[in-house]
Amino acid sequence: MKTKDFDTRDFLQTGVEDLLPSVSVDCVIFGFHEGTLKILLNKFKFHGTWMLPGGFVYKKEDVDDAAYRILKSRTGLDKVYLEQFHLFGNHNRTNIQENEKILNQIDMGSEKPEHHWFLNRFVSVGYYAFVEYSKVEVYTADGEDLRWHHIDEIPQLYSDHNKIIEKAILTIRSQIGNIPIGYELLPEKFAMTELRIIYETIFNKKLDRRNFQRKMLSTGLINKLDETSKKWGIKSATLFSFNKEKYEHAKDSENALFD
């Protein structure tokens, strides 16, 4: 399922000559589990600060492709829903001291840390991704931790990564009508409450469950199943599924899917 091909030391020893200078990529990866939205964060053991899974761009690589590659290297997942949402370009957003600390804690061999490319300024291209929670294998390995964090309990992160998450949520909120967030985050079969919780989390407010259900069903993209589940809540709830064909077709049109 998961292909872990990420290694901290490799990462920081990558020859600068292969990388596009000044440009980095950070991913806000959303998952849904047990009724809450979660964000995937990683942490270098020797550093201790959680951060967004990110990386750099090869000179002969599209930035979008770099984002897919980074996502795959951390989650093992291919073909996830991934969307660029903002460039973070403040000149003082990279905390040089913080990066220096990281470098000093790794044996970099012959390289002189004081001129390492990692100490230069980077702009960061922000991407948000929706992945199926259960397919991501979290781990505590050699140099790195990878963990889901509840969206309301994100710790203080490296650099401006808290702001990047904030901006991602604002962007998703303002474009929710064109973003297949439920389709990408939920399993094949789901209860309407699960879908509603996703929206409530993004908007940070309660939604009327009856009006919400009516609106969702009125799109015609969701099928009611002859099945119920007691997994969530007290009473057993009807399950629904997305009509994949209609969904794929609607995605290509200019019309909003939901709002």
Partner DNA sequence: TCAAAAGTGTTGGAAATACACCCATGT
Partner DNA sequence: ACATGGGTGTATTTCCAACACTTTTGA
- Tell me which residues touch a copy of itself (CB under 8 A): 20-23, 57, 59-64, 84, 86-87, 89-91, 121, 123, 125, 174-175, 178
Distance of CA 94 to the CA centre of its chain: 21
Instruction: Extract the tokens encoding 138.
Output: 């979290």
Alpha helices in the chain (DSSP H): 8-13, 63-75, 96-104, 161-174, 181-185, 192-203, 209-218, 244-252
Q: Are 27 and 52 in contact (CB under 8 A)?
A: yes
Write down the least CB distance from residue 193 to DNA, Å.
4
Among 192, 202, 222, 257, binds DNA (CB under 7 A): 192
Inter-CA distances, 91 with 127, 154, 166, Å: 20, 25, 19
Cα separation, 236 vs 248, in Å, equals 30
Given a copy of itself, DNA, none, residue 86, with its beta carbon under 5 to 8 Å by kind, binds a copy of itself
Closest CB 18 distance from a copy of itself, rounded Å: 12
Any idea which residue has 């939205």 for tokens? 37
Partner whose footprint covers residue 234, from DNA, a copy of itself, none (CB < 5 to 8 Å by kind): DNA
* Farthest CA pair distance, the chain: 65
User: Binding to DNA by residue 206, rule CB under 7 A?
Assistant: no
Q: Which does 20 bind (CB under 5 to 8 A by kind): DNA, a copy of itself, none?
A: a copy of itself
222-229 and 237-242 strand pairing: antiparallel
Residue 193 touches which member of DNA, a copy of itself, none, C-beta under 5-8 Å by kind: DNA
- Residue 63, binding choice from DNA, a copy of itself, none, Cβ under 5 to 8 Å by partner class: a copy of itself
Q: Between 138 and 170, name the residue whose CB sits nearer to a copy of itself.
A: 170
Interatomic CA distance for residues 150 and 13, integer angstroms: 32
- Contact between 248 and DNA per CB under 7 A: no
Of 3 and 174, which CB lies nearer to a copy of itself in the complex structure? Answer: 174
Residue 1 in the binding site for DNA (CB under 7 A): no
Least distance from C-beta 7 to DNA, angstroms? Answer: 43
Binding string, 218-237, against DNA, x = CB under 7 A?
x---------x-x-xxxxxx
Q: Is 210 in the site for DNA (CB under 7 A)?
A: yes
CB burial of residue 103 (10 Å; 0-12, 13-18, 19+) = middle
Per-residue three-class SS string for 181-197: HHHHHCCCCEEHHHHHH
Choosing among a copy of itself, DNA, none, which partner's interface includes residue 175 (Cβ < 5 to 8 Å by kind)?
a copy of itself
Q: Is residue 108 classed exposed, middle or buried when 0-12, 13-18 and 19+ CB atoms within 10 A define those classes?
A: middle
Closer to DNA by Cβ: residue 4 or 215: 215
Residues making contact with DNA (CB under 7 A): 191-193, 208-211, 213-215, 218, 228, 230, 232-238, 259
